[in-house]
Amino acid sequence: MTITDTTVTSDTEPPAGGACEDGHGHGPHGYSQQKDQHLKRLRRIEGQIRGLQRMVEEDVYCIDILTQVSASTKALQSFALQLLQEHLRHCVADAALKGGEEIDAKVAEASAAIARLLRT
Amino acid sequence: MTITDTTVTSDTEPPAGGACEDGHGHGPHGYSQQKDQHLKRLRRIEGQIRGLQRMVEEDVYCIDILTQVSASTKALQSFALQLLQEHLRHCVADAALKGGEEIDAKVAEASAAIARLLRT
Amino acid sequence: MTITDTTVTSDTEPPAGGACEDGHGHGPHGYSQQKDQHLKRLRRIEGQIRGLQRMVEEDVYCIDILTQVSASTKALQSFALQLLQEHLRHCVADAALKGGEEIDAKVAEASAAIARLLRT
Amino acid sequence: MTITDTTVTSDTEPPAGGACEDGHGHGPHGYSQQKDQHLKRLRRIEGQIRGLQRMVEEDVYCIDILTQVSASTKALQSFALQLLQEHLRHCVADAALKGGEEIDAKVAEASAAIARLLRT
């Protein structure tokens, strides 16, 4: 299903635009690998959040719960950094190659996303 | 089940120690209310993380995924702040009333937890 | 002059209130020591900010400037954590001993300050 | 003096490389404008840090000092975001145009800088 999605994407969109819409520019195979890594990370984080629910239900000491919250927040930020790096590598670089004003829009958009990550 | 847990907790622990072990000092009723609120928050965050998995599977644009990551991180930090406030109100305040050196240990422990939240 | 200030402070304010107004409860000597440490930290941070100005004037590479900004931000947050720990140790603990509703106000105030540090 | 520096820079470096070394690609005039803005921001932050020293000397209430620390941290991060946006716009975009492996190095370097900003 991953491969189908990706094929469809790359069939229906111009390469650079497509690279930008799905945030990747590697075509089906390389892309589905990154996608699997992202999903693994997110499933691990989902497990950490369920672990937090158990900790609350079992009246675990607040400070130990806070330590687990910090770990989950750090894991979410590492995921965001990975996604951002791929975005800069593919979408922002593609916009630079296209030339014109798109690069300014892409850089402003990425900077706003970085600002949102910093503010949280 | 929440109520059962809580009753057990408050039956088996000395008030101040219990207040500190479970991070609350309000006895079964008030406590089970806080607990339900914490679990509601965490279930909402778990839903956000599953939403992130769907976004990745559906090749949603990176920047939109990053926006959702920022929202989830913010929600985790609000949960942490709520937990920390209850901890300061009950555990740290109880330690102050007990006197002796426990207050220094509790304050050092809370400060370390705040530092971990800031570092992420 | 530090010592004069502190003497005046501890002469003119009730111990607990004074502890809370100046954020310390150790009396002149211990207090002036903490104060000197805080000023040393802040002068070092001021030097880092002037260093950033030199880096900009000398066209230093952006990434190296960003590394120095991260160091200055970290130094500011360590200062804030030190101040917060003393505040919890003295003002919040004093409010707990006083009893009444002041502890709720102090904890809410400290939690709001922690939230502001996290949001930045 | 700003202008002299900048002229020297642009005389002695190839346009793209120069754009990347000084993190700007606008040539002397546009560049000296950005530089002046950066220096204005940094002087304002330096003033805030001196303000913090006065607050400590005058025994201002901890919570009010913490509020000022949060403001200074926010100002430092806004400066970092501005610098980062210019870096992405000029250095990273130039690397993309040059082609080859430089873009990967530049993106990895920028991502590491973003990670350092997030960790503080």
Query: Tell me: the pLDDT tens digits for A58-111?
Result: 999 999 999 999 999 999 999 999 999 999 999 988 898 888 889 999 999 999
CATH, residue B48: 1.20.58.1000
Instruction: Give the other-Cβ count within 10 Å of B12's Cβ.
Output: 9
Q: Which of B80, B105, B93 is nearest to C92 (CA)?
A: B93
Secondary structure of C52-117 in HEC code, one letter for each residue? HHHHHHCCCCHHHHHHHHHHHHHHHHHHHHHHHHHHHHHHHHHHHHHCCCHHHHHHHHHHHHHHHH
How long, in residues, is chain C?
A: 120
CA distance A118 to chain C (A): 7
Determine, yes or no, domain membership for B20: no
B120 touches chain D (CB under 8 A): yes
The model's pTM is 0.80
Flag residues of chain B having pLDDT under 70: 1-31
pLDDT for position C26:
43
DSSP state of D26: S
Chains A and B form CB pairs within 8 A to the count of 145
What are the pLDDT digits (tens) for D10-65? 333 333 333 454 344 444 445 678 999 999 999 999 999 999 999 999 999 999 99
Q: Provide the pLDDT for residue A20.
A: 52
Q: C28 lies in a domain?
A: no
Q: Chains meeting A at 3+ CB pairs closer than 8 A?
A: B, C, D
Asked if A107 lies within 8 A of D89 by C-beta distance, the reply is yes
Total domain count, chain C: 1
**pLDDT category of residue C31 using cuts at 50, 70 and 90:** low
**Residue B99 located in a structural domain:** yes
Residue B3 domain-assigned (yes or no)? no
Widest distance between CA atoms in chain D: 58
Nearest to A88 among D77, D111, D118 (CB): D111
- Smallest Cβ–Cβ distance between C116 and the set D9, D67, D120 belongs to D67
Give Cα A84 distance to the centre of its chain: 6
Q: Who's near C93: CB < 8 A, 6+ residues apart?
A: B92, B93, B95, B96, B103, B107
Q: Is residue D105 part of a domain?
A: yes
A17 lies in some domain: no
- Yes or no: say if D51 and D43 are a contact pair by the CB < 8 Å rule: no
Task: Answer yes or no: is C23 within a domain.
Answer: no
- Cα–Cα dist A34/A11, whole Å: 20
In terms of CA atoms, which chain D residue is nearest residue C109?
A: D63
Whether C17 is in a domain gets the answer no
**Chains near D (3 or more Cβ pairs under 8 Å):** A, B, C
What is d(CA D70, CA C118) in angstroms, rounded to the nearest whole number? Answer: 9
For residue C87, the one-letter residue type is H
* Domain interval for residue A89: 33-119
Chains that touch C (3 or more CB pairs under 8 A): A, B, D
Locate the chain C residue with the closest alpha carbon to D17.
C61
Local structure of B24: helix, strand or coil: coil
- For the question of an ipTM over 0.85, the answer is no
Cβ-based neighbour number of residue C119 at 10 Å: 14
Residues of A in contact with C77 (CB under 8 A): none
- pLDDT at residue number D51: 98
pLDDT of residue C93: 87
CB A18 within 8 A of CB A9: yes
Distance from CA of A86 to the nearest CA of C (A): 19
Measured in residues, chain D has a length of 120
